[in-house]
Homo-oligomer: A and B are copies of this chain.
Amino acid sequence: MCVVSWISRRVPRPEAPRLRPRVAPTELTKVDFTELIPEPVPFLGQAAYIQLEFFEGLSRAVGTAPTLGAKEGLSAAAGVALGKHHDLIAELRRMDVEPVDVMAPFAPATARLHHAWSEGDWYELLLAIHVTSGMLDGYFASLANGLPTDVARRVRGILDRGGAGLVLEGELAAAIAAEPGLADRLALWGRSLVGDTLLIARSALHASDARGLDEKVEPIFTELIADHTRRMDALGLTA
């Protein structure tokens, strides 16, 4: 199920004047997300389903938290993910569609997240949520720019809400500092999550223009991975 097609904007945008030579490698590969036009209904369905999965991961982390303090922080983060889910559902209802029907086709792709929640111990669960929500929240918020203006503004507002990141980073950093072997184990685990997360990101893009798309999508994924590397670095983990 793909929710985004790669269509040029109707109005060609004029080339912006270049005030200085574009030399930085990141600029050379920089992607203009507004060239991606998501179909609103499936886009919102997939985004909503993914937030429901983050909620499930976070509430599992609440249920198995070793301290009441951790439980407390994670429950707030779970509440944010659930709020995002319900607000995206509300956008679907505005469009007079039944959210459950729209979300259902994304179950198989999103099941990869579900596996990530249940395979590891508590710290691996925390890192799994941190890695996947870090990558996908940013990705979907960027894709949202291609939606009709009003919807785009509201959906950006929903997806940009900070939630789990700080709580998860705090818990993970404390555990890594306290337990010598944990960093190596988590570094490996983090790396294993990237492929599945990219597959979920890929599933949001339209396959009909597959040949041209691959070429355009590559830099998006390069950015997602750079973003992931920064997140792992912040924890002192090799990405």
Residues of chain B contacted by A89 (CB below 8 angstroms): 72
Neighbouring B residues of A52 by C-beta, 8 Å: 62, 71, 75
Mark each residue of chain A from 84 to 120: 1 if its CB lies under 8 Å from any CB of chain B, else 0.
0110010000000001100110010000000000000
Question: In the complex, what residues of B have CB within 8 A of residue A83's CB?
Answer: 79
Q: Does A206 contact B (CB under 8 A)?
A: no
List of B residues within 8 angstroms of A99 by Cβ: 72
A82 contacts B by Cβ under 8 Å: yes
Q: Tell me whether B68 and A76 are in contact (CB under 8 A).
A: no
Sampled A-B contacts (29; CB under 8 Å): A52-B62, A52-B71, A52-B75, A55-B62, A55-B75, A56-B59, A56-B62, A56-B63, A59-B59, A59-B60, A59-B62, A59-B63, A59-B78, A60-B63, A68-B100, A68-B103, A68-B107, A69-B100, A72-B89, A72-B99, A72-B100, A75-B82, A75-B85, A76-B86, A78-B82, A79-B79, A79-B83, A79-B86, A82-B82
